Amino acid sequence: MEVVGKKDLLPSRPEHVAIIMDGNGRWANRRSMSRMQGHEQGANAVREAIKGCREFGIPYLTLFAFSSENWARPTEEVNHLMGLFRFFFKKELKSLLEADVKVTFIGDINRLPKDVQKLAEELVQKTADKDKLHLTIALSYGGRAEIAEAAKRLAEKVKSGDVNAEDISEENFGDFLQTSDIPDPDMIIRTSGEKRISNFLLWQAAYAEFFFLDILWPDFTKQDLQIAVEEFATRNRRYGAISA
Ligand code: IPE
Ligand code: IPE
Ligand code: MG
């Protein structure tokens, strides 16, 4: 497929791309490697996604790195993933700063090992004034948990009299989600061939365009992003109305 130039993408370029980075285990299995090696290779694809967003002028990128449900995996795998996050957060700080990337996190960060939490906080603080790409890393994240947590906080505000129940609307409910400072995703990409959302950005995905790629996450490159972005430009987003 012919890849379009950056300029040609401008009219209907997505503002926010979110990615379910799936297939590390299968990538490794096919090579008789351990699942851990698959996760390690996945880190290269993360760099590709960031590079692609910077090149194509996409200002928001959200990456699903570890779900609330992934805690149920064998301890060895969970520990290895925590080690990779530790390594990645330390090693990538410099290149993220150089690329003007601001990093924030969504998810139940309190469940992470203390030192990983600290490295994550450092990454957030040190990149806070960067403004070319806002990278959100979903870590220990689950969409239902996020919505339930928002409902709980709203209920407390109603109880204390700070919010009137009648004033809660779909326009302001999003302010109570962890994504309140970023726009909803225009595109959600999932690699590995699975066609499901797996508890990712449930509220925010209401009108996202979905892209299910048959490649496994460690094989993802910025060209795959570019092809998806190119297809995005051809889709007709109707939002329930009729075509113009
Ligand atoms: C995605 O790859 C990484 C995480 C969920 C942390 P998987 O580990 O789910 O890989 P598959 O789906 O088993 O191939
Ligand atoms: C979704 O992948 C979570 C991440 C990519 C971090 P999973 O591999 O955990 O999802 P399921 O189990 O196939 O639904
Ligand atoms: Mg998977």
The domain segmentation of the chain, as residue ranges, is: 12-143+184-232
Q: What is the largest CA-CA distance in the chain?
A: 59
Residue 199 CB-density burial (10 A; 0-12 exposed, 13-18 middle, 19+ buried): middle
Structure tokens that stand for 121 in this block? 């906080």
* Residue 44 identity: N
Give the model confidence (pLDDT) of 94-124 as tens digits. Answer: 999 999 999 999 999 999 999 999 999 999 9
**Are 154 and 176 a contacting pair, CB within 8 Å?**
yes
pTM for this model (two decimals): 0.95
For residue 7, name the pLDDT band (cuts at 50, 70, 90).
Answer: very low
Task: For a ligand 1 pocket test, name from 192, 194, 195, 196 the mutation site with the most ligand atoms within 8 angstroms of its C-beta.
Answer: 192
* CB of 200 closer than 6 angstroms to any ligand 1 atom: no
Whether 22 is a known active-site residue: answer yes
On the question of pLDDT at 9 being above 50, the answer is no
Q: What pLDDT, in 10s, does the model give residues 165-221?
A: 999 999 999 999 999 999 999 999 999 999 999 999 999 999 999 999 999 999 999
pLDDT in tens, 119-171: 999 999 999 999 999 999 999 999 999 999 999 999 999 999 999 999 999 99
The two structure tokens encoding residue 39 = 């996760």
Domain 12-143+184-232 CATH superfamily: Decaprenyl diphosphate synthase-like (3.40.1180.10)
Q: Is 194 in the pocket of ligand 2 (CB under 6 A)?
A: yes
Q: Which of 5-9, 10-14, 42-46 has the lowest mean pLDDT?
A: 5-9
